[in-house]
Chain A
Amino acid sequence: MHTYIIRRILISIPLLFGLLTINFFLIHAAPGDPTDIFYNPDMDPEARENIRRIYGLDQPLGVQYLKYIQGVVLKFEFGYSIAKKRPVKDEILEALPNTIQLSALALLLELSLGIGIGILAAVKQQSTFDNATRVTALTFYSMPSFYLGLVLLFLFAGGVSATHWFPASGMVDIVRHESMSTLGRLGDRAIHIFLPSLTLGIGAAAGISRYMRGELLEVIRQDYMRTARAKGLTERVVVFKHGLRNALMPIITIMGLSLPFLFSGAVIVEQVFGWPGMGRVAVDAAFQRDYSMFLAVNLIFGAMVVVGNLVADILYAMVDPRVRLS
Chain B
Amino acid sequence: MILGLFGLLVGLAGWHAGTLWDTLAHTLEKLFGANVPYTLRDLDFLVSTLFLLGMLAALVLYSGLSCQRIRQADRTAQGPERQWSIVKRQFLKNRLAVAGALIILALYLVAFLCPFLAPYDPVEQGDRVQERLLSPSAEHLLGTDRFARDVFSRIIYGSRISLLVGFLAMGLAVTLGTAVGAVAGYYGGWVDSVIMRFVDMMLSFPTLILIITVIALWRNQSIWIIITLIGLMSWMGVARLVRGQFMALKEREFFQAARALGAGTGRLIFQHLLPNSLTPIIVSATLRVGNTILLEASLSYLGLGVQPPTPSWGNIVYDTKGNLFTEWWMPLAAGMAIVITVVGYNLLGDGLRDALDPRLRE
Touching chains A and B, CB distance < 8 Å: yes
Q: Which residue of B lies closest to A302 (CB)?
A: B204
Q: Which residue of B lies closest to A15 (CB)?
A: B201
**Chain A interface extent, by class:** 35 or more
A275 at the interface (CB under 8 A from B): no
Residues on B with C-beta less than 8 A from A302 are 204-206
Contact between B332 and A154 (Cβ–Cβ < 8 Å)?
Answer: yes
Contact between A15 and B342 (Cβ–Cβ < 8 Å)?
Answer: no
Q: Shortest CB–CB separation between residue A142 and chain B, in angstroms?
A: 4
Which of B22-30, B51-59, B114-122, B216-224 is found at the contact surface with chain A?
B216-224
B355 at the interface (CB under 8 A from A): no
Q: Shortest CB–CB separation between residue B154 and chain A, in angstroms?
A: 17
Which of B3-11, B134-142, B277-285, B320-328 is found at the contact surface with chain A?
B320-328
A209 at the interface (CB under 8 A from B): no
Contact between A32 and B209 (Cβ–Cβ < 8 Å)?
Answer: no
Residues on B with C-beta less than 8 A from A18 are 197-198, 201
B320-362, CB < 8 A from A: 321, 324-325, 328, 331-332, 335-336, 338-339, 342-343, 345-347, 350
Given contacts A144-B294, A263-B209, contact A294 B217 (CB under 8 A): yes
Which of A19-27, A68-76, A188-196 is found at the contact surface with chain B?
A19-27
> Could you tell me the distance between the alpha carbons of A257 and B206 in the complex, rounded to whole angstroms?
11
Which of A37-45, A112-120, A122-130, A282-290 is found at the contact surface with chain B?
A282-290
Contact between B213 and A294 (Cβ–Cβ < 8 Å)?
Answer: yes
B172 at the interface (CB under 8 A from A): no
Q: Shortest CB–CB separation between residue A66 and chain B, in angstroms?
A: 21
Which of B163-171, B261-269, B298-306 is found at the contact surface with chain A?
B298-306
Residues on B with C-beta less than 8 A from A298 are 205-206, 209-210, 213
B170-215, CB < 8 A from A: 197-198, 200-201, 203-210, 212-215
A268 at the interface (CB under 8 A from B): yes
A219 at the interface (CB under 8 A from B): no
B64-111, CB < 8 A from A: 96
Given contacts A146-B301, A264-B209, A298-B210, contact A135 B331 (CB under 8 A): no
Q: Shortest CB–CB separation between residue B220 and chain A, in angstroms?
A: 9
Contact between B218 and A31 (Cβ–Cβ < 8 Å)?
Answer: yes
Residues on B with C-beta less than 8 A from A294 are 213, 216-217
Contact between A159 and B328 (Cβ–Cβ < 8 Å)?
Answer: yes
Given contacts A27-B213, A30-B218, A294-B216, contact A138 B350 (CB under 8 A): yes
Query: What count of chain B residues pass the 8 Å CB interface test?
Result: 47
Contact between B342 and A285 (Cβ–Cβ < 8 Å)?
Answer: no
B317 at the interface (CB under 8 A from A): yes
Contact between A268 and B216 (Cβ–Cβ < 8 Å)?
Answer: no
B290 at the interface (CB under 8 A from A): yes
Contact between B203 and A26 (Cβ–Cβ < 8 Å)?
Answer: no
Q: Shortest CB–CB separation between residue A311 and chain B, in angstroms?
A: 13
A78-111, CB < 8 A from B: none
Contact between B324 and A31 (Cβ–Cβ < 8 Å)?
Answer: no
The one of B216, B324, B328 in contact with A289, judged by C-beta atoms closer than 8 angstroms, is: B216
Q: Shortest CB–CB separation between residue B98 and chain A, in angstroms?
A: 14
> Could you tell me the distance between the alpha carbons of A298 and B321 in the complex, rounded to whole angstroms?
27
B227 at the interface (CB under 8 A from A): no
Contact between B203 and A159 (Cβ–Cβ < 8 Å)?
Answer: no
> Could you tell me the distance between the alpha carbons of A5 and B171 in the complex, rounded to whole angstroms?
37
Residues on A with C-beta less than 8 A from B206 are 260-261, 263-264, 267, 298, 301-302, 305
Given contacts A19-B204, A142-B290, contact A283 B324 (CB under 8 A): no
Contact between B207 and A138 (Cβ–Cβ < 8 Å)?
Answer: no
Given contacts A286-B213, A289-B217, contact A267 B324 (CB under 8 A): no
> How many A-B residue pairs lie within 8 Å, measured between CB atoms?
146
> Could you tell me the distance between the alpha carbons of A96 and B203 in the complex, rounded to whole angstroms?
21
> Could you tell me the distance between the alpha carbons of A316 and B212 in the complex, rounded to whole angstroms?
33
Given contacts A15-B201, A32-B217, A260-B207, contact A153 B324 (CB under 8 A): yes
Residues on A with C-beta less than 8 A from B298 are 144-146, 264, 268
Q: Which residue of A lies closest to B220 (CB)?
A: A31
Given contacts A138-B347, A154-B325, A297-B209, contact A257 B218 (CB under 8 A): no
Q: Shortest CB–CB separation between residue B297 and chain A, in angstroms?
A: 5
Residues on A with C-beta less than 8 A from B197 are 11, 14-15, 18
Residues on A with C-beta less than 8 A from B342 are 142-144
Contact between B347 and A309 (Cβ–Cβ < 8 Å)?
Answer: no
> Could you tell me the distance between the alpha carbons of A257 and B207 in the complex, rounded to whole angstroms?
13
> Could you tell me the distance between the alpha carbons of A271 and B290 in the complex, rounded to whole angstroms?
22
A139 at the interface (CB under 8 A from B): yes
A47-76, CB < 8 A from B: none
> Could you tell me the distance between the alpha carbons of A14 and B204 in the complex, rounded to whole angstroms?
12
> Could you tell me the distance between the alpha carbons of A230 and B303 in the complex, rounded to whole angstroms?
60
The one of A30, A154, A301 in contact with B217, judged by C-beta atoms closer than 8 angstroms, is: A30
Contact between A285 and B216 (Cβ–Cβ < 8 Å)?
Answer: yes
22 contacting pairs across A/B (C-beta < 8 A): A11-B197, A14-B197, A27-B213, A31-B217, A142-B290, A143-B339, A144-B314, A144-B339, A150-B324, A151-B332, A153-B324, A154-B325, A260-B206, A267-B206, A267-B209, A271-B301, A283-B212, A287-B303, A294-B217, A298-B206, A298-B209, A301-B209
Top 8 A-B pairs ranked by shortest CB distance? A30-B217, A147-B335, A142-B342, A286-B216, A264-B208, A263-B206, A142-B343, A305-B204
